[in-house]
Every structure is written in structure tokens, then in C-alpha cells.
Amino acid sequence: MNTLKISFTVLKKPTTYFFSGNSVISLKSLTPPSSVKPASISGGPRVYSTFAGAGVRTDFKVNSYSNMAEPDSDHKQGDVAVKDDRIARISSTIRVIPDFPKPGIMFQDITTMLLDPVAFKDSIDLFVERYKDKDISVVAGVEARGFIFGPPIALAIGAKFVPMRKPNKLPGAVISEEYSLEYGSDIMEMHVGAVEAGERTLVIDDLIATGGTLVAAINLLERVGANVVECACVIELPDLKGRDRLGDKPLFVLISST
């Protein structure tokens, strides 16, 4: 499927433009509450601001949007979703915390989005709309924030939810996969028998950075014979090239933060 990608910068007021061919067909501006003052944060090529106290972006240089693409054999990379003003609403509620959990990291905090029932529902709805007719039988959620998005998606599309956990968190027999981190390594575990050979599986997490966690989840699932249809995340940090580590596995994200 051909896609149209649009990159843009928005300052002072988050603004979303929607394009059809060469024409602008919709415009949505979000105005911050007048009761709070913006406090600017700068991080390399990114420009952010948070409301003092509220921590919601008002100035940002983020997102590349494209039309939604189907997860099939002709589309290996997946893409960023653009549907309507839901994307702008979701993005505007995600807080960016500088130097957390260590200096130099701009932490993408989705907990502020969870405080907004409309934005939270929008994020779930966008995933459900994509996967409801894809014959997905397993939604595998990566610890910990994949546990937030995975269960409601699984319930909505009629799939079972399988938690992918850190070591010694799951009772009973497990299958394990070790994976590399920037410094050292970690282990991911899944219950033996939770996923059967041939089951069509979606892997969900809140964010993809270097891609190591998603690769571990894919490896675990494929070791038991599952068919990993696609990986899905709310946020992608494309500068870290985690998408490249997924090989031929498609990746679908709502927001690409550059």
C-alpha cells in the first residue's frame, strides 16, 4: 500500500494537518489551559515544553505521520497512524521528562495520557480498529506498560492476553529468552503452553527505542511456533533505529517522536 508521509513542526499550539493528495482537508489546534504557564525544555534536535504542574506538551517538534497501512506480506515495516484528530490528542497528553531515569534521556511518560480518559480510549480504539479483522488469537503484552494496552485490545478483538514478564514473576513452568541491553542483559519469560504453534500473535508495548525488548518477545513466541503478525507501540523513537532490529516483522506506531 502506498503511503503519504508528512513531517512538520508545531510551536506554541499543537496543530495537526491532515492531507489528501496535495490538499489540506482538516486542521485541528489545541489550546492549553490559560491557568498554567508553559515551561520550556530543550533536548538536542527536539523542542518540548510542559505545563508547569501539569507536564503536558505545548511546544513540540515531533511526529511524522502517514496513512495507516495493512499488516501484510507486502508491507514489512508498518507505519505511523494518521486517522483523525485522535493522534494529536494522544500526543498532546504525553509528558516528556528530561534526564530520567538517567542524564541525557528524554523519558516519554504515558501516565499523563492515562489521566485523560478520552485520549486513553483513543489509543485503544486506534489499535482495535487496525487488528479487529486480522484473525489475531493472542495479544502478547511486554512488561510493564504493555500490560496497560494489551488487555483492553485483546478483549475488544476476542483474543487472549499473554503477559511477557521479567524473571521470577510468573508462577509455574516458563520459557525464557535472554536479551541485550545498553549495559548488560535481561531475561523475558512466558508461561509454557500459553501460546500454541500457529497462533496469530500481536506483540504490544508502549514504546520502541532500541528494539531489544520486542526482539526478545518475538523470539520467545517463534520458539513455540507462533506466527507474529505485527508489533505495535504507542511511541517510536526512530533515531535509535529499533525498527531495524525487527527484521521482516512489521511495526505499527501511533506517534513517531524525533
CB neighbour class for 66 (10 Å; exposed up to 12, middle 13-18, buried from 19)? middle
Nearest to 27 by CA among 13, 15, 42: 15
Annotated catalytic residue 145 = yes
Active-site choice (89, 95, 145, 165)? 145
Q: Which residues have C-beta within 8 Å of that of residue 168, sequence separation ≥ 6? A: none
Tell me if 170 sits within 8 A of 163, measured CB to CB: yes
A 10 A CB-CB count for 34 gives 6
CA-nearest of 37, 97, 90, 23 to 63 is 90
How close are the terminal C-alpha atoms of the chain, in Å?
24
H or E element in which residue 147 lies = helix 146-157
Catalytic residue numbers read 145, 182
